[in-house]
A and B are shown apart, each in its own frame.
Chain A
């Protein structure tokens, strides 16, 4: 299990669990992250900017600190 912000660019994974502040986790759920959901890391913005993640059919940009609250299992680990 790794944090979403550590996922290499282009890799897919499944969300295992969340860890972090309640408010952050709530926002993550609202925007469409949930346990069991599939994610793919599309890109990391320059200068330590946000990362772009594909969740379902949708692209979401989020900060690395927020992505750090999402723990994922890489497809290869299953």
Chain B
């Protein structure tokens, strides 16, 4: 019979990565407590020489427990076919992880300790020989990231197989000591083998960064720097990506020629790829900074500071960073919600993220506010823009509150946050994680976004007629035809089919609204600087068939309301579908937000006109 090894250990002790090293299994190593809910079984890789089975169990701190998941572990250990237990302990968390060792020792079951190192410097401080002596069991150091020590561990396990009986009795009632005595014993062992780093520095830093009034100031400053970097630092890189793809697109068009295939390759495929890659700088910078804050230990403190106000709307301190990032761009922000532990909280956070005033809305607001405050002092549109920013946060808060009230709350957002020790971030690690997350965006969300962009391209470019100019082409496209037919749909908002088609085209990215308006008003061959003025002039003159002006205070304000609420961004929907793993969620959000935007925009127009 093939011997079975059971892996036991506290949550986040490195159990799952050891399991992966042993079995080569494709089970994902999830990096938060409680990731393993069921037990996983795999077969040992041939490189270890001896055939064996390995069982991964849910993490636990103590064998004496009532919670459901932890019973799975006790059940696995009680099974007759488990021949040996591998107890996984994290060297940096030894004090908490030793309780299991004490309990297993008392039960007199055969186990080997795998001491994992989440942090090399921490592991070096553990007196392995002393630990081995006090526990009376073999202890092997394991490098969870590189797999060092795993072979040694397997050898140790099978080396003393002969000296021990293959079967053992696992009965919890054999324990004589109660858990309080066991904890004391674990503590005393911990003190003998591990010199805990002095906590005075941590306490001093916490006094500044967590408990004092200065902590709030520091929080605001840190978040301002984070936002500034995601918003402004990424901008030149995004422009570079944009310029590169415009150039390639132009090149492709001139090489292939002005025909349907040329248009498809240049404005469809190449610019569609650009639409995916344009978010890369923001995503990379956001995750670089988040990694830095997380590694330094500050992110946990920041979440603790801001938890209270967010609790009121069903969110927690962890949601703050995604929401803040949403003011730059919802795409990286949706990805940043990966840090949220509670599925319900993540649901609410992702749902409200598109309300935040992202950078793609700025060119649209610039145009519409310039129209509203034509010839008036510059502070007026400035103040209005600030009000729009604030209002978007308010709308997000209200929406979260509504969701918080209507969603079943059997899994309320928890806020339990380990406050790790402060330490200098390791740049290499952060860089690698940021690169990995950026690639995962390109690989996972990229294809979905690309397909959406191509669909929209087909709607705005087909059927193709080479005799038409760009403006006529857009007007006669499927989008244009539909726009003509559903003008009655835009009429209650005070808009004609041209503005309606531009709103439709803006689903590829909100700022496309401006260029689309320019195309449809036939302003293609003017330089960018004078374009806004020319477009404003055209908008002022535009009328319905009966001669009444289209763009008025009421209709433009209605459009601003529409842009504030609508989820007019297929990239966001694409990344949301991938991140939430649910088409349903993405589509419900897309429909809900746009219907709400339409209804409120209509109401705004009807009240104001």
Q: Does B305 lie within 8 Å of A58, measured CB to CB?
A: no
Q: Is there a chain B Cβ closer than 8 Å to A60's Cβ?
A: yes
Query: Considering only CB atoms, which chain A residue lies closest to B213 in the complex?
Result: A46
Q: Does A29 lie within 8 Å of B419, measured CB to CB?
A: no
A44 to B282, CA, bound (A): 36
Q: Does A34 lie within 8 Å of B61, measured CB to CB?
A: yes
Tell me which residues across on chain B come within 8 A of A42, comparing CB atoms. 203, 206
Q: Does B419 lie within 8 Å of A61, measured CB to CB?
A: yes
Q: Does B68 lie within 8 Å of A22, measured CB to CB?
A: yes
Q: Does A50 lie within 8 Å of B69, measured CB to CB?
A: no
- Contacts A49-B308, A56-B95, A57-B93 known; A63 to B34 CB distance under 8 Å? no
Tell me which residues across on chain A come within 8 A of B487, comparing CB atoms. none
- Which residue of A27, A29, A57, A66 contacts B60 across the interface (Cβ within 8 Å)? A29
**Which residues of B, 78-115, contact A by the 8 Å Cβ criterion?**
93-96, 99
| Per-residue B-contact encoding for A41-78, CB less than 8 Å = 1, 0 else | 01101011110100111111111001000000000000
- Contacts A24-B414, A37-B183, A52-B419 known; A63 to B307 CB distance under 8 Å? yes
Q: Is there a chain B Cβ closer than 8 Å to A36's Cβ?
A: yes
Closest chain B CB from A46 CB (angstroms): 8
Q: Does B179 lie within 8 Å of A61, measured CB to CB?
A: no
Closest chain A CB from B400 CB (angstroms): 17
Q: Does B304 lie within 8 Å of A30, measured CB to CB?
A: no
Tell me which residues across on chain A come within 8 A of B419, comparing CB atoms. 52, 58-61
Tell me which residues across on chain B come within 8 A of A37, comparing CB atoms. 61, 183
Q: Does A62 lie within 8 Å of B65, measured CB to CB?
A: no
Q: Is there a chain A Cβ closer than 8 Å to B173's Cβ?
A: no
Tell me which residues across on chain A come within 8 A of B305, comparing CB atoms. 45, 49
Q: Does B418 lie within 8 Å of A60, measured CB to CB?
A: yes
- Contacts A34-B62, A35-B179, A49-B308 known; A25 to B414 CB distance under 8 Å? no
Closest chain A CB from B417 CB (angstroms): 5
- The winner among A49, A60, A66 for most chain B CB atoms within 10 A is A49
Q: Does A34 lie within 8 Å of B65, measured CB to CB?
A: yes
Q: Is there a chain A Cβ closer than 8 Å to B180's Cβ?
A: yes
Q: Is there a chain B Cβ closer than 8 Å to A32's Cβ?
A: yes
- The winner among B11, B203, B419 for most chain A CB atoms within 10 A is B419
Tell me which residues across on chain A come within 8 A of B307, comparing CB atoms. 45, 49-50, 61, 63
Tell me which residues across on chain A come within 8 A of B95, comparing CB atoms. 56-57
A23 to B61, CA, bound (A): 16
Q: Does A34 lie within 8 Å of B300, measured CB to CB?
A: no
Query: Considering only CB atoms, which chain A residue lies closest to B216 in the complex?
Result: A46
Of the four ranges (under 10, 10 to 19, 20 to 34, 35 or more), the interface on chain B belongs to 35 or more
Tell me which residues across on chain B come within 8 A of A47, comparing CB atoms. 308
Q: Does A66 lie within 8 Å of B415, measured CB to CB?
A: yes
- The winner among B34, B68, B96, B305 for most chain A CB atoms within 10 A is B96
**Which residues of B, 376-423, contact A by the 8 Å Cβ criterion?**
410-412, 414-419
Q: Is there a chain B Cβ closer than 8 Å to A14's Cβ?
A: yes
Query: Considering only CB atoms, which chain A residue lies closest to B417 in the complex?
Result: A61
Q: Is there a chain A Cβ closer than 8 Å to B202's Cβ?
A: yes
Query: Considering only CB atoms, which chain A residue lies closest to B182 in the complex?
Result: A36
Tell me which residues across on chain A come within 8 A of B11, comparing CB atoms. 30-31
A43 to B210, CA, bound (A): 9
Q: Does A32 lie within 8 Å of B178, measured CB to CB?
A: no
A28 to B418, CA, bound (A): 11
Tell me which residues across on chain B come within 8 A of A36, comparing CB atoms. 62, 178-180, 182-183
A42 to B419, CA, bound (A): 12
Closest chain B CB from A77 CB (angstroms): 14
A62 to B303, CA, bound (A): 11
Tell me which residues across on chain A come within 8 A of B68, comparing CB atoms. 22, 26
Q: Does A26 lie within 8 Å of B67, measured CB to CB?
A: yes
Tell me which residues across on chain A come within 8 A of B182, comparing CB atoms. 36
Q: Is there a chain A Cβ closer than 8 Å to B9's Cβ?
A: no
Tell me which residues across on chain A come within 8 A of B96, comparing CB atoms. 32, 55-58
A28 to B66, CA, bound (A): 12
Closest chain B CB from A65 CB (angstroms): 9
Query: Considering only CB atoms, which chain B residue lies closest to A14 in the complex?
Result: B180
Closest chain B CB from A30 CB (angstroms): 4
| Per-residue A-contact encoding for B314-327, CB less than 8 Å = 1, 0 else | 00010000000000
- Contacts A34-B62, A49-B304 known; A59 to B418 CB distance under 8 Å? yes
Q: Does A35 lie within 8 Å of B64, measured CB to CB?
A: yes
Closest chain B CB from A35 CB (angstroms): 5
Tell me which residues across on chain A come within 8 A of B303, comparing CB atoms. 61
Closest chain B CB from A74 CB (angstroms): 14
Q: Is there a chain A Cβ closer than 8 Å to B70's Cβ?
A: yes
A50 to B419, CA, bound (A): 12
Q: Does A29 lie within 8 Å of B416, measured CB to CB?
A: no
Closest chain A CB from B93 CB (angstroms): 7
Tell me which residues across on chain A come within 8 A of B414, comparing CB atoms. 24, 27, 63, 66
Q: Does B415 lie within 8 Å of A63, measured CB to CB?
A: yes
A25 to B305, CA, bound (A): 23
Q: Does B70 lie within 8 Å of A29, measured CB to CB?
A: yes
- The winner among A14, A23, A48, A59 for most chain B CB atoms within 10 A is A59
Tell me which residues across on chain A come within 8 A of B34, comparing CB atoms. 26-27, 30
Closest chain A CB from B66 CB (angstroms): 8
A34 to B64, CA, bound (A): 9
Q: Does B179 lie within 8 Å of A50, measured CB to CB?
A: no
Query: Considering only CB atoms, which chain A residue lies closest to B297 in the complex?
Result: A59
Closest chain A CB from B543 CB (angstroms): 55
Q: Is there a chain A Cβ closer than 8 Å to B59's Cβ?
A: yes
Tell me which residues across on chain B come within 8 A of A59, comparing CB atoms. 202, 206, 418-419
Q: Which 10 A-B pairs have the closest CB atoms?
A: A36-B179, A59-B419, A49-B308, A61-B304, A36-B180, A56-B96, A30-B33, A36-B183, A62-B416, A30-B34
Other than the known A29-B70, A61-B417, what 5 A-B pairs have Cβ atoms closer than 8 Å?
A23-B411, A49-B307, A56-B96, A59-B419, A63-B311
Can you offer 9 A-B residue contacts whose CB atoms are under 8 A? A28-B416, A35-B62, A35-B179, A36-B62, A36-B178, A43-B206, A50-B417, A56-B93, A59-B419
Q: A residues within 8 Å of B by Cβ? A: 14, 22-32, 34-38, 42-43, 45, 47-50, 52, 55-63, 66
